[in-house]
Structure 1
């Protein structure tokens, strides 16, 4: 057996070999050690090899999908080796059971629901590189074989990181040379799973022939126009798919080409900072996708995630999407009715993919039947709209394509209750096939005979707990508890009952009569199952023949679901339709953060809306830069992010959280918000900040939208101020982009006098009785203080520390530039105040309370009512006589 194992393993190097032995998949040698660590299962041993114990671990066949899911999620690849003959036949000829690999499972080639995330695409990406004088060109092709999507594009070397972040592949295949390349290798190794392959998979000379063979076309004219580099990546994709599917050809859609610049470019740091699909903690909950995802189908959720990852840059295409959303915002009853219909619609794309590669089951057939029937319901409801927007017209046309005869035939053929696997049988409706009805009757009658036999044996032996059971190894057998085993093995019962097996608590027997009945049952059962499998193959063939029409209907359902979901979001959360055009406008009134607003709403709190206008001023050719000052906790980061998210939502074709919005197309979105280090690459927090800032300053164009928060804070004050100063000037003079720049360096506000497109804004706060109140309102002007000590007090720093900090701050603010810090230290002995401070700080005197209260007033900002209330508050502080 181990000789057979080594032979199969040698043909599948680099994969964990699931070697079938009875009811278990066993792993040996290094595979066992890797799997035991990854799965947390016990590592045992079996026999010896070259004088050493053979490590071994195993998982039950019936639970294999759970373990496979965990291995695939960790980036492992698995070869499933099955027994390809009956063990009884092998025993008869005294040889090892024949086994062979029936499936290669890799992270990018999954089709089973149990291994896939229903709400996310599962992409396999191929990356090809061509060196050129003007810089490297990269060809990319990605496939989701569970939905048949196939897309190709080309980008430059510097654009690769942003493109990978957008596609977010589950597995990437590259050449060995690219994987070890010093420039691209580190980037590739950050992906979830990367498989280096030999150059023959990426052979550009044979790429077109391989593509033509796969799609059964004579020339490339039958496919989308592709560059040679894109064709190379596409051919690598299908070659890898054929290898992992062991020659089977999943029915992929012909490659569609994504034009360069058709979508908003968003680099990996920006995607992470804005938490588009995952929070910084890696969770979906709390992300923008989670906040806006009102879809009711898995396919709709996947499409929404795709749109969020790649906002459009074509104003006309965006307008078509907005027209569709607007139509359903205006029709709440129709919207709710259609959503109910879609909620019952199955995931047709993935059911179709499984059936096409021979891994489908009866429930997949039923899913396609139900999908076609749901299409009729959806079409009837869409017919009530006076005028269908262009996108909805196209979806309705796709829903009409599948033949209704297929649904009718499936309704006649399939039973009400369906098993998960076709091998379990029982999925064909009675009276559909007369020969099947006869075989079932014979099989069921035989089982009744077994039940009668069990009752008779229990009476004859006097053992009321005697049972007749069945498993795949022994077949039918008589089972009694251990205390009754001796009785059946002694005369006269041993003449009837033949001992088969002794376990810890049971003893098993057979009889000649039981053997005869078993043969009859097996024959009848095998014939019934054989006939059902024939019916299944006939129905599956009908599905494959109608594959294009079913796939189009599935895509239409997803589009309809996304449109209805965005309409519901707009209606429920008071979103408005944005104006999206090709200008450089960026004017938002009453803008809100979509995620924060929902969180506050759950707590019963309102969100303070704010305006933002980065549009070019009259006579100017470029957008504005807002320099935003104000204390921490005042909401600067929220304001920055919300404007970026509003632009992004507008360009996916969604209504936006604002009272009015006009967005000129943003071609690139950049965000540098928050602090994080990258210790694995030896980068400090400040180094990461500078790398991300460098990307922005080197790549932003006049159509870009840039949000920057606290540039330069990770180094010495004057160094940081200098960097922030120079960055603003570069954004203004070189990038000429629309930007929001938040900072604590109040000195930068002076730049507005020499930079005509720089506008000072601040977040309004108010001091009341020595406390700072955050109003979360953005207004023109600049902050003169950071209120850091007040925020520290809110955070719970010890009172002695707060008191000491106030004293040091007062001294620093009074210090002229000529006095050194050392001299200040002499004036402020270390811990001088702390040492004198009592455990519980004494309350200020009545006079000091009044003085502090008066100092906290801002008469110019107070309304008459607020002034009157302040006066009453001061009067209350007067000492009582």
Structure 2
């Protein structure tokens, strides 16, 4: 077992290895020493290696998210090593076979998807910066919502853009670029991750992007510079590395231009306290004063628009027309807010499901969200809507088949984890219903069978019994 641990750990020298052993994630050697200190948990020992005690600590599997959050906030990266088979399956290969294990995910600040690890009301951006010859570009994505953007910039514009996006992690090619960007990342306290130059190769990056979206060319998304393609491709490559091939549900890349939003330098942005006060907290900022949104998605959209004010007159006028409409129809506005309060965070639920980390409640979130979308669309149908609100309302329709499926398949209040069971509604699957009936009403079913067989055979003394040797059996005189 320890040989397996060391083999896996050698592949991830810069991360703490959560090594799954039954109901615990165990850590050994220096990982155990560092984790025990960071998490304030007991440091024990297990066996010896080169005549030295092996330090060990562990955290319960069911409570791992809380420990992950602490480690990520303290600057650690965590490689999650899971058991890929059961002990019974391992025994089939031989009595002393070790259960197969491998890393299924590399947890970093920019690749979080769990609600418990994220701030619901703000984006969690992973940013990639690329320089190719005389060009440079920035790509960023929030894998918890699927947002994906790219823009050409100069090295001088990197600082203001990082201040605007406030990313959780920054990817840069290893070498001169990494050295040049390091002071900036340190200034903004952004975790900086080096990536091999091959990840930034624009030709390979283009193939990577086309493969992700299932297209033969990028022309349908826009006209991108080689630097933009490089930055997007490196970001996707990093996601493939950290998610072990399970890519998130990213939206088509949105190409942003610097002249479309108000350019605010880092010092001015800090002084204006748009989204963060001078102390770095949300409280006391302009955003904290004006934010009356009732959904996490609305809060993220408001922060995005406040930190990147538009310079496009058509966009500004469309937003003002929508605002006038809401002010003039106070009752409609309240009705919409009531409906939105019942709307779950669809973006993050979809992302977890795409990464196969979702649970029954994520499916329920999709169902409940689509239900509210339908209600909002019906409420707006009788109104003379401005163009922006009309476009948003139209986007809420067309999901009846999916909503009917989820309504029929799921119970009203499903459990958190799939392994808890009980989240498929009665009447949806006949075979499952039969299994549940046998589980819940086994005694009465056996009793009715006994009566039926006795009547069929005419043997009134016929009994159906059970023991640990034979299982169920029929006994007659």
**Counterpart for residue 864 of structure 1:** none
Is residue 419 of structure 2 the alignment partner of residue 423 of structure 1? yes
CA contact (8 A) 1:179 1:196 kept: no
What per-residue deviation string (whole Å, max 9, x for no partner) do you get for residues 320-359 of structure 1?
Answer: 1111111111111111111001110111111111111211
Is residue 29 of structure 2 the alignment partner of residue 29 of structure 1? yes
CA contact (8 A) 1:415 1:428 kept: yes
**Counterpart for residue 124 of structure 1:** 126
Is residue 185 of structure 2 the alignment partner of residue 188 of structure 1? yes
Question: SS at 2:153's partner residue?
Answer: strand
Distance in 1 (CA, whole Å) between partners of 2:73 and 2:426 is 42
Question: SS at 1:307's partner residue?
Answer: helix
Distance in 1 (CA, whole Å) between partners of 2:346 and 2:118 is 15
**Counterparts in 2 of 1:291 and 1:205: CA distance versus 1, 3 Å:** same
**Counterparts in 2 of 1:114 and 1:440: CA distance versus 1, 3 Å:** same
Distance in 2 (CA, whole Å) between partners of 1:448 and 1:7 is 55
Is residue 351 of structure 2 the alignment partner of residue 393 of structure 1? no
Question: SS at 1:189's partner residue?
Answer: helix
What per-residue deviation string (whole Å, max 9, x for no partner) do you get for residues 9-39 of structure 1?
Answer: 1122211110011211011112112212221
Distance in 2 (CA, whole Å) between partners of 1:365 and 1:237 is 28
**Counterparts in 2 of 1:440 and 1:165: CA distance versus 1, 3 Å:** same
**Counterpart for residue 20 of structure 1:** 20
Question: SS at 1:306's partner residue?
Answer: helix
**Counterparts in 2 of 1:283 and 1:448: CA distance versus 1, 3 Å:** farther
Q: TM-score, normalised by structure 2?
A: 0.89
**Counterpart for residue 96 of structure 1:** 98
Shift >6 Å, 4+ stretches: 446-449, 512-517
- After TM superposition, the structure 1 = structure 2 runs for residues 257-276 of structure 1, keeping only pairs within 5 Å, are 257-276=255-274
Q: How many residue pairs were aligned? A: 449
Gaps of 5+ in 1: 450-511, 520-881
Distance in 2 (CA, whole Å) between partners of 1:412 and 1:172 is 43
Distance in 2 (CA, whole Å) between partners of 1:382 and 1:330 is 14
Distance in 1 (CA, whole Å) between partners of 2:167 and 2:75 is 12
- After TM superposition, the structure 1 = structure 2 runs for residues 299-698 of structure 1, keeping only pairs within 5 Å, are 299-385=297-383, 387-400=384-397, 402-445=398-441
Among candidates 160, 166, 169, match of residue 168 of structure 1: 166
Distance in 1 (CA, whole Å) between partners of 2:197 and 2:186 is 19
Please report how far the alpha carbon of residue 416 of structure 1 lies from its aligned counterpart in structure 2 after TM superposition.
2.0
**Counterparts in 2 of 1:447 and 1:57: CA distance versus 1, 3 Å:** farther
Among candidates 237, 248, 251, match of residue 249 of structure 2: 251
**Counterpart for residue 640 of structure 1:** none
Q: TM-score, normalised by structure 1?
A: 0.49
**Counterpart for residue 155 of structure 1:** 153
Larger Rg: 1
Question: SS at 2:408's partner residue?
Answer: helix
What per-residue deviation string (whole Å, max 9, x for no partner) do you get for residues 685-738 of structure 1?
Answer: xxxxxxxxxxxxxxxxxxxxxxxxxxxxxxxxxxxxxxxxxxxxxxxxxxxxxx
What per-residue deviation string (whole Å, max 9, x for no partner) do you get for residues 561-598 of structure 1?
Answer: xxxxxxxxxxxxxxxxxxxxxxxxxxxxxxxxxxxxxx
Distance in 2 (CA, whole Å) between partners of 1:515 and 1:126 is 64
Distance in 2 (CA, whole Å) between partners of 1:202 and 1:391 is 38
**Counterpart for residue 105 of structure 1:** 107
What per-residue deviation string (whole Å, max 9, x for no partner) do you get for residues 512-570 of structure 1?
Answer: 967998x9xxxxxxxxxxxxxxxxxxxxxxxxxxxxxxxxxxxxxxxxxxxxxxxxxxx
Please report how far the alpha carbon of residue 407 of structure 1 lies from its aligned counterpart in structure 2 after TM superposition.
0.7
**Counterpart for residue 81 of structure 1:** 81
Gaps of 5+ in 2: 446-465, 473-477
**Counterpart for residue 591 of structure 1:** none
CA contact (8 A) 1:75 1:192 kept: no
Please report how far the alpha carbon of residue 315 of structure 1 lies from its aligned counterpart in structure 2 after TM superposition.
2.6
User: RMSD value over aligned CA atoms?
Assistant: 2.2
Distance in 2 (CA, whole Å) between partners of 1:351 and 1:178 is 39
Distance in 1 (CA, whole Å) between partners of 2:181 and 2:437 is 65
Please report how far the alpha carbon of residue 91 of structure 1 lies from its aligned counterpart in structure 2 after TM superposition.
5.0
Distance in 2 (CA, whole Å) between partners of 1:16 and 1:286 is 36
